[in-house]
């Protein structure tokens, strides 16, 4: 799935509303996301509670975004799109 330019712009605008700390936390969460193509770092295999830790780590950012008036559906869609974009970029960097 390719993120349309307007959707990407909307995501960037939403990220701009976050504090510097929240952006850092968001980046850390995305950097720690498991990738199917890299089983060495796939925490799903090594930590059965990885999803709980992810939800807990992301909670402050999610709360700030919700306080800004975004719906749960919008948040989930934007996160999914951001993760997909990061994965595409990393895949392109690997040349696969």
> Mind listing the pLDDT tens digit for each residue in 38-70?
544 556 667 778 778 878 888 888 788 878 888
End-to-end Cα spacing for the chain: 16
Structure tokens at 60: 């402050």
- Whose CA is closest to 54, among 12, 26, 35, 14? 26
- Residue with token string 């799903």: 44
Binned at pLDDT 50, 70 and 90, residue 1 comes out as: very low
pLDDT at residue number 37? 55
């Amino acid at each position: 799935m390719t993120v349309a330019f307007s959707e990407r712009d909307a995501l960037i605008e939403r990220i701009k509303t976050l504090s510097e700390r929240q952006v850092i936390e968001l980046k850390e969460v995305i950097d720690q996301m498991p990738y199917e193509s890299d089983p060495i770092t796939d925490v799903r295999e090594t930590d059965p509670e990885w999803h709980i830790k992810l939800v807990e780590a992301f909670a402050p950012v999610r709360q700030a975004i919700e306080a800004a008036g975004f719906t749960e559906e919008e948040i989930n869609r934007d996160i999914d799109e951001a993760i997909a974009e990061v994965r595409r970029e990393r895949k392109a960097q690997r040349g696969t």
